[in-house]
Amino acid sequence: MGLRDRLRRLEKDAPLGGTLLLPDGTQVRYGPEEMLDALCAAIEGDEHRLIPYLREIPTREGMPGLIRALEGDADNAA
């Protein structure tokens, strides 16, 4: 079973839809599959519509921190 299959199974058990709050106050809504799709895209070096927003959030925690670490930019996180 590949990583994508495992993430899909996790996604079925715990839907992850929600809203990202950017530093400028902008809110970006995302669906239940999008956050895991963004993670898969980052792992594969691809783009996803949420990745630019996740890059804007100044933290080393959660998905924004994970995206930064995958991109080799963890040292620049606030």
Tell the burial category of 35 from Cβ atoms under 10 Å away from its Cβ (0-12, 13-18, 19+): buried
Q: Could you read off the pLDDT of 27-77 as tens digits, one per residue?
A: 999 987 898 899 999 999 999 999 999 999 998 888 899 888 988 854 454
More confident residue, 10 or 71: 71
Number of domains in the chain: 1
pTM above threshold 0.85: no
Residues 6+ apart with CB under 8 A from 55: 64, 67, 68, 71, 73
| The pLDDT of residue 24 | 96
Q: What are phi and psi for residue 24, nearest 5 degrees?
A: -85, 5
The domain in which residue 50 lies consists of 3-76
